Amino acid sequence: VIIWILQSCDFTFRFNAENSILKSIGQFLAPIFAPLGFGSWGAVVCLICGVVAKEIIVGTMGIINNVAGDISTNMLISESLLLSSSALHLNPCSALSFLVFSLLYLPCISTIGVMRKEIGKKWTLIAMLIQFTIAYILSFAVYKIALCFAVNGAVSGIISVLIFVAIVVSLFIFKKFFKSKNKCLFCPKNKKCGDKKC
């Protein structure tokens, strides 16, 4: 109900789907996601609604594109995303990037509530920031690699995949090389510890 109100009403809570609250928020945040290939207000609105529950993303796509949500028209929802008149307007590369990002960006709000209860507010915010950052980086990489395949052909795409894998492997090697083996993580200031349990 809250999502429907936000999608249907403006900031004065009058029915105005053309200038709804979610559309205004989506247009404000859209430039952040432009490097990922889906810098449209519709895609951002779907991600905002997806925080409530990931499955709401598909329903939001149908609502934004004026497609009925029954089972017989599921194909129409996917087809409507590729239309130039769509609020999302995804091409195959940006659709793949959107898929990766929407699967990784944030857990649903019930999971966030459990995380806050179990690990506290501070660590929940840190975990969410890490998750969002990882999703952004991977989505960016997937979009650029997909563009290499689509625009420059298979050889360019394979080279870009190999470069990405080399960067990831080098980061893990870098971390392992500088990781201290003789220090205890549980002692103050990471000093050497004689406790065998550590």
Rounded to 10 deg, the angle between the 21-33 and 41-50 helix axes is 100
Q: What is the pLDDT of residues 142-168, one digit of tens each?
A: 898 888 887 777 777 788 778 878 887
**What residues pair up with 9 in beta bridges, in sequence order?**
15
For residues 196 and 186, the answer to whether their CB atoms sit within 8 Å is no
- CA separation (Å) from 176 to 17, 131, 165, 172, 180? 53, 22, 17, 6, 8
Q: What is the pLDDT of residues 130-139, one digit of tens each?
A: 999 999 999 9
For residues 22 and 63, the answer to whether their CB atoms sit within 8 Å is no
Q: Which two tokens stand for residue 127?
A: 């975990």
Question: Which one-letter amino acid corresponds to residue 164?
Answer: F
For residues 40 and 22, the answer to whether their CB atoms sit within 8 Å is no
Q: What is the pLDDT of residues 69-84, one digit of tens each?
A: 555 545 566 666 666 6
Q: What is this structure's pTM?
A: 0.74
